[in-house]
Amino acid sequence: MVILSLIVKRARVKALVNDKRVASEAFGDYVESLSGDASTNQFLSKALRGVRTIICPTEGFLSSISSLKGIKHVILLSQLSVYKGTGGIQALMKGNTVKLAEQDESKLLASGIPCTIIRAGTLQDAPGGQQGFCFDEGSAVKGSLSNEDAALICVEAINVVPQAGFIFEVVNGDEKVSDWKERLSQLMERAGPKLL
């Protein structure tokens, strides 16, 4: 969903994929697909060459990168609030995922690179654009967000680069957003001294 949203915005896209042939069939010439061992510095160095912004929609990738040299902005879609809000057997099953999400956020915030961490509610395979949004603190623990809406927010966050680390929560709700740059700037202002 993130790649499709970037293509619609006519952004130049470099994507790490498992299967270059499948990615080529899905995205054509719109995406430079790279496949390789993302745990090796040599591959990641080559893959990140010339990249200014990273959008990371899954946990565990950022914590495996040894250097973010040259990167100007990182956008992380995190479900850390959801994972921490679960209990019982579900919490045990997600234990490793919680660690990966915590490591990603910690590494990113410690890097000093301007970053936006989007703490989304439970991601749902539902059409986007059908509902509004809610940005209340604590909403991600109990709310949900469609995958399409999550991808849209990740792409829109490219246009609002914070000075340091900026974290906000979002789920589907009642607020309609017509100007994402303005809304994200308002959220950043509201965070004020809480910016990390």
Classify residue 190 by burial, with Cβ atoms within 10 Å: 0-12, 13-18, 19+. Answer: exposed
Joined together, the tokens standing for residue 187 give 């959220």
pLDDT of residue 41: 84
Which residue reads 């991600």 in tokens?
A: 140
pLDDT of residue 37: 86
Q: What is the pLDDT of residues 81-90, one digit of tens each?
A: 888 776 655 5
Phi-psi region of 152 (alpha: psi -120 to 50; beta: other; left: phi over 0): alpha
Q: What is the pLDDT of residues 117-176, one digit of tens each?
A: 999 999 999 988 999 999 999 999 999 999 999 999 999 999 999 998 999 999 999 999
Phi-psi region of 112 (alpha: psi -120 to 50; beta: other; left: phi over 0): left
- Residues 4-28 have a mean pLDDT of 92
Total length of the chain: 196
pLDDT of residue 90: 54
Options 1.20.1290.10, 3.40.50.720, 3.90.700.10, 2.40.70.10; CATH for 52-191 is: 3.40.50.720
Q: What is the pLDDT of residues 32-71, one digit of tens each?
A: 999 988 878 888 888 999 999 999 998 888 888 888 889 9
Classify residue 65 by burial, with Cβ atoms within 10 Å: 0-12, 13-18, 19+. Answer: buried
DSSP 122: E
